[in-house]
Every structure is written in C-alpha cells, then in structure tokens.
Amino acid sequence: MEKNSILIQYKKEIEKLEVSDEINNNINTAKNYMQLLIQNNKDLLKDDIINLMKEISEHFSFDKNSKQEFIEYCKNSYEIMEKQRQEENYQMEILKRAETSNIVDKIFPAIDYRENLGMIYGIKDFDEIGNEITYVGMANKKIYEINKIKNFGIIPTHEENIDSKFSLKAFAEYVNGKTVKANALYSSIKQLFKKYVVVSDEFFDVIVSYIMMTYIYILFQVIPYLWINGEKGTGKSTIMKIMSKLCFNPMFCSNVNPANIFRQIDNDGSTIILDEFEKMYGEDKQEIIKILNQGFNIDGVVPRCVGQSNQIRKFRSFSPKIMGGISNIDDVLFERVIKYTTTKVKNITVPKFREDKDTKMELNKLVDDLYIFGLIYAPRIKEIYDKSEVSFRGYTLREDDLWNPLLCIAKIIDTENENTNVTDNLLKYAKQLSNEKFKRNIENEPKLQLLYYLYSYFDSINAVIRKLHNQKYGVELVALYEYLSTKDELKWIKGSSSLGKKLTQWYGFEKKRETDSTDYELSGKKTYYIFNQNDILKIMEDNNIKVEDYE
C-alpha cells in the first residue's frame, strides 16, 4: 500500500478514537496509538509523524501543556525507533556482503605464493629524486606498487617499503624472457664457495640447497635452521659472510637488538644470520630464542607489547635462520637445526673472501638468478613437497620435516643433470646428523641410556640370571646394579632400590622376591626382575632405535 493511502487510513482511524472527559485518559490514548503507529510503520518520515501528531492533537482538543507533553513523547518514541532502524539497516548491509564476499586471502608482499599468482616477491626501486619505492612482482609477470595493489583486488598484509635485493631491472629481464636453470645456478654457487672455504662434499650441497631454499621457503610448512659450529680460523665466519650476500633478504647481525629482528622478519621476511651466537646473553638472548623456537613453522608468531599503551601485537617469526658460534646450543634448538662443525685444514690454502668489483658483480648476478629461480621453479617444487615425492627417515619425524625442503630442491637439480648426486649427498649427511642427534638424545635421556646396558648385561660373564618358581628367568637386582655402577654414563643410579624403581616405572618389568634354594643360609630372599634381551629389543624398537645405534 502506498504511503499516502496509509496516511489517509490513519487519519480515518484517528477520527474514531474515543474522546474522554478526562484529559489524562485522552493523553494516554493518544500516546498508545502513536506508539503503535511508530512501531508498525518504520517507513514513516519525520514530517509524516508531525502531521499525524497535529491530527491527534486537534482530535482531542489538547491544551498547550497537554499538546507539549504529547509532542515530547512522540519525539522520544520516534528517535528511539529511528536509532533502531539505523542499526537494523547497518546490520543488514553487513550481512548482505556475505552473499557476494569471498574469503580475503592477504599476501605477504616480501615473499609469498599463490596458485593463481605464482611466487611473489617485493621489489625495490627508487624514483627520480631518490625516494624508495616498493613494487610487488609475481611469477605471472604482473607487477604493482605496494600502496596501490589493493586497487587490483590483491590485499597485502602491510604497505611499508620492503628492503629487497630484487631490482626492478632484474624483474623486467624475467618478464622479457630471461630464464634460469636450477642445476646451472647450483653449480655456480657451489664453485663460489669452493673457492673460499673447505668443508665436506656433502655440506657444500647443504649450503647451496639451503641458499636456494631461502628464496622459496614460504612453500613449506616447516624449514630447518643452519647451525655452523667451529673455532676461530676454521672458515665458519667466511661461510656465513658469503651466505649473507646470497640468501633471501639477509640480515647479518651480532649482538643485535631483538626488536630489530622481530620487525625485519615481520616486514621483509628476512633470512636472519646470527654470528657469534654464544656472545648473546641475558634478556636479549631469551627474546631471540623465542623467535627461534617458533620461527621454523609457517604459523610461527611471537607476541610483543608495542607502543605507549603496550598493546599486544603478534609478529611473524617464520623465516630461515643461520647461526654460528663456538659453543654448542641447547637441546630444543638443536632439534631444529642442520649442524656442521668446521675444522682447521692442514696443507690447503684458500684465498680470503673480499668483495672487489668483480666479486660484487658475480654476487649480484647470482642473487638476480636466485629470484628468477624462485619465480620459475616454485610450482614444481611445491608439487614435489605436497605429494611427498621425497622423504628422509630420521630418528624423529621432526628430522623428516627439516630435510624435506632441501631434498625437494635436490630432486630438481638431479633431474636436470644426471651427473649430480645432490640428493644422495644430502641423505648421507642427514643420516650422519641423525646419528649425532640420536646419541646426544640418549646422553640426555636416562631411560634410553639405560636400555643399552641392560641389553649388554646378558652378555656379561658376571650376569646372574636364575630360573624362578614360575618357570620364568629373572635378573638378580643387586648383581645387575653392581654391573651398571661401573659405567660412567650411569652414575645417576643411586643404589639397587633406585634401579629397581626405574625397571618397574620405566619399562614395566615384573618383580619377584625368592629364596636361593642352593644356599639358603647365606643368601636368604633376593629380588629378581623378569626380562630378557628380546624384551629390551622390543622397547628399543618402540623408541625407534637399535642396538647398533649406540655403537
């Protein structure tokens, strides 16, 4: 029904309202009617309400005071209704968006990957007066200014400039058809390192594949850190310095403020290179360890209080990390790293790494090629990773996760050149490191440490094993303790009673107290635990270890 018709109808209804001799009754009748009218007709405008109020006031012949009271009441009722209507309209507008909206998938402009866009990198350039400009370049050969990319339906996580080593000129060369072969790039980087450092053949492949991984690390759920451990003069610092020239958006630091690292990763997705890690101490080191303990996982974030109001903000911590130092690192961090120990090499002389003009040109070309490698190869590497085409069976599942990114790159390199054996070298080194981690884990895990010596006890000439009344064979506790107490690694066992509790609590071995019938007067009752070598082997198997792993 049209609004004019509605107003005419209301005027007719007003004429039918009963007029009382009591003015208060008339006011209440008028208020009630107007309240229903306002609630049931939200399309009425303010002018419509005013006209109807006039009609009602004339119908009841309100005096000045009654009329004023009625108008105030109607005004308040209308304002309440208007606010409700505005809120309802606001809610409806929001919910209407659900009919056409898509899930907003923000890109991290420093480095990211999307199926429809390919690999994404921040690109650094300058305008004619030297002001920094950041572009976002994509494998599909499209490029946008970071502060204008939203106009084209791509939402960035932030619009701050990115400290990228990818130049606009290099991206233009890619757009115009420049290509890179992964195996040739790998060979060039490897030759550069061989010129200045001496490490094992396997670790050369770790270094090169790790550098290449930094340009596509966003493809993986979990990435490894690199831990280079060694005394001064063993090439450790040279390795890290060259890597700082080649890795993705590198930040080379020693005794740095942790806040700078937070922001560098959160804004630039940087590869963090921490030299002289052992010299960091106190609260700063604890803050950096927080980053390291989270930053190997793609979902890794670290909350920090920022600003004068100390608001909590979650900073990204996911990025490659390379650490170097003389002393060792704690067990938790050790599980997240690929470690190499540099040593002094006799009778071999290598030139000192210096950044002269020719070396800088070589490094710049390699960096440009590494970006283009990422743009070209990311889809295939992601496919290898997602389909689990490579794998490493280490002591723990975490080891498998850490090695898979490098093995994906190795597969690409080996596929392009049948004369390379990068995959085999990585697997060989992974196995060596897994054994080292396992032995370190045993040293720090008494439950695993004890198993080997329980197994070896059965081969000892002093082993006391007796057939019990239940026809099972038992190991005499005191004799077992005397054997184990001679082992330096087991000095933590404080007496036979302590040992007995461990045998029950840790391994569930059954305990029996029996008299040695051969010499009752001398022996009395003795304590026996029922287990054999096969029982030990079963527990080892459950913990994914073997006897030879201890040797």
Is residue 538 very low, low, confident or very high in pLDDT (cuts 50, 70, 90)?
very high
Judge whether 238 and 252 are in contact, CB under 8 Å.
no
Determine the pLDDT at residue 533.
Answer: 93
195: tokens are: 């010129």
Judge whether 281 and 271 are in contact, CB under 8 Å.
no
Residue 140 has pLDDT above 60, yes or no: yes
Residue 523 has pLDDT above 60, yes or no: no
Distance CA 390, CA 209 (A): 15
Determine the pLDDT at residue 520.
Answer: 45
Distance CA 56, CA 229 (A): 92
User: Buried b / exposed e across 442-461, counting CB within 10 Å, b at 16+?
Assistant: beeeeebbbbbbbbbbeeee
Distance CA 446, CA 369 (A): 49
Q: What is the DSSP string of 11-63?
A: HHHHHTSPPPSSHHHHHHHHHHHHHHHHHH-TT--HHHHHHHHHHHHHHHT--
Query: What's the rounded mean pLDDT across residues 326-333?
Result: 75
Q: What percent of the chain has pLDDT over 70?
A: 95
Domains annotated for the chain, with CATH where assigned, are: 3-100 (no CATH), 111-175 (no CATH), 182-440 (3.40.50.300), 446-550 (no CATH)
Determine the pLDDT at residue 2.
Answer: 59
Determine the pLDDT at residue 445.
Answer: 82
Residue 522 has pLDDT above 70, yes or no: no
Distance CA 351, CA 450 (A): 49
Query: What's the rounded mean pLDDT across residues 117-127?
Result: 94
Mean pLDDT (the chain) is 88
- pTM over 0.85? The answer is no
Compute the half-sphere exposure of residue 438: CA atoms within 13 Å on the CB side of its CA.
22
Residue pLDDT, tens place only, 260-283: 888 899 999 999 998 877 666 677
Residue pLDDT, tens place only, 283-305: 777 888 888 888 999 999 888 87
Q: What percent of the chain has pLDDT over 90?
A: 47
SS3 percent helix, strand, coil of the chain, rounded to 5, is: 55, 15, 30
Distances (CA, A) of 332 to 228, 293, 328: 16, 8, 12
Residue pLDDT, tens place only, 34-73: 888 887 777 777 788 888 888 888 888 888 888 898 888 8
Distances (CA, A) of 302 to 225, 269, 333, 457: 17, 14, 16, 48
Residue 478 sits at φ, ψ, to 5 deg, of -65, -45
Is residue 102 very low, low, confident or very high in pLDDT (cuts 50, 70, 90)?
low
- Looking at the DSSP assignment, which residues form a beta bridge with residue 230? 342
Query: What's the rounded mean pLDDT across residues 358-386?
Result: 96
Determine the pLDDT at residue 293.
Answer: 87
